[in-house]
Structure 1
């Protein structure tokens, strides 16, 4: 008789299991802090738009891809073929690199913007965005490390 419960492929969980196992438990904090970066950067207007554009690209790209990645794992889409543990590790390594580069450029832009006393509220919002971008980087990095450990165990 076939079981109807979600059985993990190797060490990869599916269904509700992604909310209870490491590294997959980090999907929600990644989405929350990445979404906060997206919202905070979108709510400000800074004159050097190029670094802010990169930060917006990274936050939107990582938010959408992490959400899709989480849905694939929750629905059990990773059961159809192998290589998902390696793909999870590679994605989170790329997301970590992207978020680190975005956080550094956002911090540099915020430091350069510090002297403008007319837009102190914008400066405070940018500081919050910098902090949240570094927190998102940390969550992606932890997820990458735990995904690498999981990949090595296959």
Structure 2
């Protein structure tokens, strides 16, 4: 994969599909969307903090979509955009980490009362935890490599 050089701070147009870390947009869409879908399909009990997990997954999915379209349209060529890129992906990584911990805790507490009726919900929660940690890793890697790119520019 090609890397951005110091002459072009952030890629625009089709170059985002060939540069690192911008190629991470696609798996961020996939895994963030999977977290959203899996959490939305589980049964929510009254004292359940899954609202934060849903907020994080929807916020990051919509934010990544907007960020992706800004990159595709080339609206990211000012000097402050690399810092905004780092800030958005770092904030998303922190949000996803907090949501992942909450989701893992809720899944662990659910494991104590597994019956045939809630086995499917338990398995969906396990899948959501895995996808959430993968999304956390992707956003963290994107933030790190965006920070490296920002420092080189």
For 1:126, the equivalent position in structure 2 comes to 125
State the alpha-carbon separation in 1 of the partners of residues 132 and 101 from structure 2: 9
* Partner residue in 1 for 2:43: 45
Distance 1:137 1:65 in 2: 15
Partner in structure 2 of residue 146 of structure 1: 145
Aligned residue for 1:78, secondary structure, equals coil
Query: Which residue of 83, 86, 89 maps to 1:86?
Result: 83
| Residue 10 of structure 1: how far off its partner (Å) | 2.7
Paired residues, number? 146
In the TM superposition, what is the alpha-carbon distance from 1:47 to its structure 2 partner? 1.2
- Residue range with higher mean Cα deviation, 46-55 or 31-40: 46-55
**Shift in Å, 1:11:** 2.5
Give structure 1 stretches of 5+ with no counterpart.
1-7
Matched residues in 2 for 1:139 and 1:48: separation? 31
- 1:1-154 matched pairs, under 5 angstroms: 10-48=8-46, 50-79=48-77, 81-114=78-111, 115-117=113-115, 118-154=117-153
Q: Specify the SS of the correspondent of 1:77.
A: coil
Return the alpha-carbon distance in structure 2 between the equivalents of residues 83 and 93 of structure 1.
Answer: 16
Distance 1:56 1:45, change over 3 A: same
CA RMSD of superposed structures (Å): 1.4
Quick one: structure 1 residues 31 and 110, their matched pair in 2 at CA, closer, same or farther if it must change by over 3 Å?
A: same
Query: What are the ranges of 5 or more consecutive residues in structure 2 without an aligned counterpart?
Result: 1-5
How far, CA to CA, are the matches of 1:21 and 1:85 in structure 2?
14
Q: Distance in 2 between matches of 1:134 and 1:48?
A: 25
Aligned with 1:151: secondary structure? helix
State the distance in 2 between where 1:68 and 1:152 align: 24
Task: Point out 4+ residue stretches in structure 1 off by more than 3 angstroms.
Answer: none
| Separation in 1, partners of 2:24, 2:131 | 15
Residue of structure 2 in register with 1:4 after alignment:
none
- What's the TM-score, normalizing by structure 1? 0.91
Deviation for aligned residue 1:48? 4.7
